[in-house]
């Protein structure tokens, strides 16, 4: 009898695979209860578990394939960050939970089974929390500077600004966007069409109710060139090619443009063409007479005299006067009743704020200028000319009350090498070039014709716009697997009134500005930026090289960590590097500690909200000669749950083997002993 009881106890264990509930037992339930119970049984079934595991393997295989052929962003977009994958994880969690609940009440020998399922649910919950709220961003810190803004490399935004110059009111709206990892209209893996004819419309009610931004094209990776296109409300712009035939086939094309200022559209830019710095001045001509003065009243070759020369135009005639001669005696031309006297030559002209006049501030030629007295018949006027600003000739002539067509320009003997463009309303282009203290060209330029420039270079004007706006030419390229991409979009910004403008935006470029209905619209496609609750200053770094190479063996940076606090705006010190203003708030940085960040030795910071951020050393680069350290900023609120779930899972698996073996063998041993007795 004892043997029979022992065997019965051993056979009372529930089978590993739970059989379906008999139909007779289900017939006694209400139809709704019966249906819910069937759903519950299906949710806990092994069939569903196997189906979900096969689904998971297919998703992972697709994700791995996309990551290897496109990039990690593509795998996240199509698989791991897709709502379909979250549904899969939720169904897995439901299956695990149902498989445990349907066996309730649990027996003692099922302890390991229950704990294993609790571990699985904990891991799935932690993974879900991680995918929703984790941070994986970059923080770039220049040496000696304080930085507290991280960049999210996988989150894009389109930022639209709206400014009313009349009232000074400004508005700003940023819209999070996700266009995918492939160019719209391309094919996935070369077979499946993606985004053909697709458009996205972003509402901009914060800018103006009814305003919209229509994204017409998305290009996942591209090359781009700066360009200008005609625009009624624009600035003068010139495209030119710089070439050096004597040193090979070097040739580089660039655009330069003037910018609006108080005295008109002028420009003084340093343009790098093929690594060659080119100083270019561009401004808009007010009349044909100014173009004639620009071309005809300029030195022909070397700038004469120890003090330089004066280019003067009056009554349709052009003169080139040497300051040394003017210093000795005035210049006169009786045929047009002109007399020119030198009042003062100023090596360093400086504005006297009290008298509102220019005076000489010293012998060093930092801002050279000359003051002249012009007698033109019964009219006498004083005027000033600045050697560093030939574009001031027309504004100074107007302010000085000089007759129409009368201009003065000052040319120093130590004139730097530079290029000057004067653009007329009729798209004519005046061109002057200075090299080795000489004027090597002064002409009304023709497009696609070569002219002497500085050094061994020739300059070829390619296009001229009297009024243009900046734009970019975009050339789509295949997405490079695993490498940085340069995406671009084509957008159409429209107002409820029907006014609209089109722009092409590349993610790496600064904002694009447009004038629309008298307002200034700024558009930018960029990565999302977010402020950290703390700040970091790069004090020093160490970058030892591998023996015999220039490759870094490791990166180490020594930083100071600051916490942030709000301060009254009136106590803000503008020149204090540990204080700054963010919108309407003033912020001060307070030092908390010194730290060292290196490979496998991250920095941990726990904010007042309880969030703990981890900074990993990613690399050190140089931008314009300044060391910049890059850190990966990580925050994973689901990490503890995933670790805890893994530990619980291991404990459950151990108990499944240990307790399962214990309860399986003990009754059998009792039965054997009874039979022997």
Average pLDDT over every residue of 493-510: 90
Element (H, E) at 180: none
Q: Is 450 a residue whose pLDDT tops 50?
A: yes
Average pLDDT over every residue of 596-618: 88
Q: Is 6 a residue whose pLDDT tops 70?
A: no
Selection from 227, 229, 235 nearest residue 260 by Cα: 235
* CB proximity list for 210: less than 8 A, separation 6 or greater: 495, 496
Give CA–CA dist 240/559, Å, rounded. 46
pLDDT in tens, 354-408: 777 888 888 888 889 999 999 998 899 999 999 988 988 998 898 889 999 999 9
Give the mean pLDDT of the chain. 87
Q: Is 262 a residue whose pLDDT tops 60?
A: no
Average pLDDT over every residue of 524-537: 94
Domains recognised in the chain with CATH numbers: 2-134+642-676 (no CATH), 136-147+529-635 (2.60.98), 156-230+471-528 (no CATH), 236-469 (no CATH)
Give me the pLDDT at residue 548, please: 76
pLDDT in tens, 420-440: 999 999 999 999 999 888 999
Give CA–CA dist 342/340, Å, rounded. 7
Give me the pLDDT at residue 74, please: 83
* CB proximity list for 25: less than 8 A, separation 6 or greater: none
Give me the pLDDT at residue 265, please: 57
Segment of 16-25, 408-417, 618-627 carrying the highest mean pLDDT: 408-417
Average pLDDT over every residue of 54-70: 90
Give me the pLDDT at residue 154, please: 87
Give CA–CA dist 495/204, Å, rounded. 10
Element (H, E) at 33: helix 31-43
CA 245 to chain centroid: 37
CA distances to 312, 314, 404 from 335, rounded to whole Å, are: 15, 12, 18
Give me the pLDDT at residue 8, please: 47
Cα angle, residue 416 at apex, residues 411 and 421 outer, rounded to 5°: 75
Greater model confidence, 180 or 446: 446
Joined tokens for residue 494: 């429209």
Tokens 């001229």: give the residue: 464
Cβ–Cβ < 8 Å for 194, 184: yes
Q: Is 662 a residue whose pLDDT tops 50?
A: no
Q: Which of 47-56, 334-343, 417-426, 506-515 has the lowest mean pLDDT?
A: 506-515
Whether the full predicted model's pTM is greater than 0.85, yes or no, is no
Give CA–CA dist 556/538, Å, rounded. 11
pLDDT band at 4, cuts 50/70/90? very low
pLDDT in tens, 196-229: 889 999 999 999 899 999 999 999 999 998 899 9
Average pLDDT over every residue of 39-65: 93
Instruction: Name the 3-class secondary structure at 433.
Output: strand
Tell me the sheet residues that pair with 491.
215, 503
Share of the chain above pLDDT 90, in %: 53
Give me the pLDDT at residue 9, please: 47
Joined tokens for residue 224: 């781009």
Greater model confidence, 37 or 319: 319
CA distances to 143, 161, 252, 313, 677 from 241, rounded to whole Å, are: 37, 34, 5, 31, 109
């Amino acid at each position: 009898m004892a043997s029979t009881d022992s065997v019965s106890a051993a056979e009372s264990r529930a089978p590993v695979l739970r059989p379906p509930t008999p139909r007779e037992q289900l017939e006694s339930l209400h139809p709704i209860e019966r249906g819910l119970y069937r759903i519950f049984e299906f949710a806990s079934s092994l069939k569903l578990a196997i189906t979900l595991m096969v689904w998971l393997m297919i998703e992972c295989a697709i994700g791995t394939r996309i990551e290897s052929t496109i990039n990690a962003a593509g795998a996240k977009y199509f698989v791991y960050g897709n709502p379909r994958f979250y549904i899969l994880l939720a169904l897995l969690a439901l299956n695990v939970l149902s498989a445990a609940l349907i066996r309730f009440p649990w027996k003692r020998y099922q302890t390991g089974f229950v704990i294993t399922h609790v571990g699985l649910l904990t891991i799935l919950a932690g993974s879900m929390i991680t995918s929703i709220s984790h941070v994986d961003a970059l923080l770039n810190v220049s040496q000696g500077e304080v930085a507290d803004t991280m960049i999210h490399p996988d989150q894009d935004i389109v930022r639209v600004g709206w400014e009313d110059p009349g009232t000074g009111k400004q508005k700003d709206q940023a819209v999070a966007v996700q266009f995918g990892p492939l160019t719209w209209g391309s094919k996935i893996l070369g077979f499946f069409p993606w985004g053909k004819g697709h458009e996205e419309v972003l509402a901009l009610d914060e800018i103006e109710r009814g305003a919209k931004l229509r994204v017409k094209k998305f290009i996942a990776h591209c090359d781009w060139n700066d360009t200008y296109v005609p625009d009624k409300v624009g600035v003068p712009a010139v495209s030119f090619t710089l070439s050096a035939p004597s040193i090979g086939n070097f040739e580089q094309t660039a655009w330069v443009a003037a910018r609006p200022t108080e005295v008109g559209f002028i420009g003084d830019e340093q343009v790098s063409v093929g690594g060659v710095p080119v100083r270019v001045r561009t401004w808009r001509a007010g009349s044909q007479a100014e173009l004639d003065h620009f071309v005809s009243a300029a030195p022909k070759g070397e700038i004469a005299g120890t003090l330089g020369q004066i280019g003067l135009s009056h009554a349709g005639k052009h003169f080139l006067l040497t300051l040394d001669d003017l210093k000795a005696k005035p210049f006169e031309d009786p045929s047009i009743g002109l007399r020119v006297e030198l009042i003062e030559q100023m090596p360093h002209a400086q504005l006297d704020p009290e008298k509102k006049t220019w005076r000489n501030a010293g012998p060093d030629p930092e801002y050279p200028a000359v003051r002249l007295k012009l007698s033109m018949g019964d009219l006498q006027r004083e005027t000033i000319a600045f050697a560093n600003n030939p574009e001031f000739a027309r504004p100074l002539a107007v302010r000085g009350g000089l007759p129409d067509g009368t201009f003065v320009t000052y040319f120093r003997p130590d004139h730097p090498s530079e290029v000057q463009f004067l653009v007329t309303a009729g798209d004519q282009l005046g061109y002057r070039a200075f090299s080795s203290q000489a004027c090597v060209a002064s002409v009304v330029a023709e497009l696609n014709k070569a002219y002497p420039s500085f050094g061994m270079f020739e300059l070829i004007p390619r296009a001229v716009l009297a009024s243009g706006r900046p734009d970019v030419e975009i050339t789509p390229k295949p997405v490079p697997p695993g490498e940085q991409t340069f995406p671009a979009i084509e957008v159409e910004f429209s107002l409820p009134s029907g006014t609209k403008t089109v722009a092409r935006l590349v993610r790496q470029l600064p904002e694009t500005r447009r004038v629309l209905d008298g307002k200034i619209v700024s558009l930018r496609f960029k990565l999302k930026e977010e402020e950290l609750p703390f700040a970091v200053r790069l004090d020093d770094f160490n970058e030892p090289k591998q023996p015999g190479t220039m490759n870094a063996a490791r990166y180490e940076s020594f930083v100071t960590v600051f916490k942030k606090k709000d301060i009254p705006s009136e106590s803000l010190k503008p020149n204090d590097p540990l204080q700054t203003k963010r919108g309407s708030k003033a912020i001060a940085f307070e030092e908390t500690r010194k730290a060292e960040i290196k490979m496998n030795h991250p920095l941990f910071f726990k904010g007042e909200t309880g969030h703990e951020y981890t900074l990993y050393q990613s690399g050190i680069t140089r931008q314009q000669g300044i060391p910049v350290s890059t850190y990966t900023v990580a925050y994973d609120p689901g990490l503890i749950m995933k670790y805890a779930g893994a530990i619980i899972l291991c404990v459950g698996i151990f108990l499944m083997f240990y307790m399962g073996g214990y309860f399986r063998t003990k009754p059998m041993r009792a039965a054997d002993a009874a039979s022997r007795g």
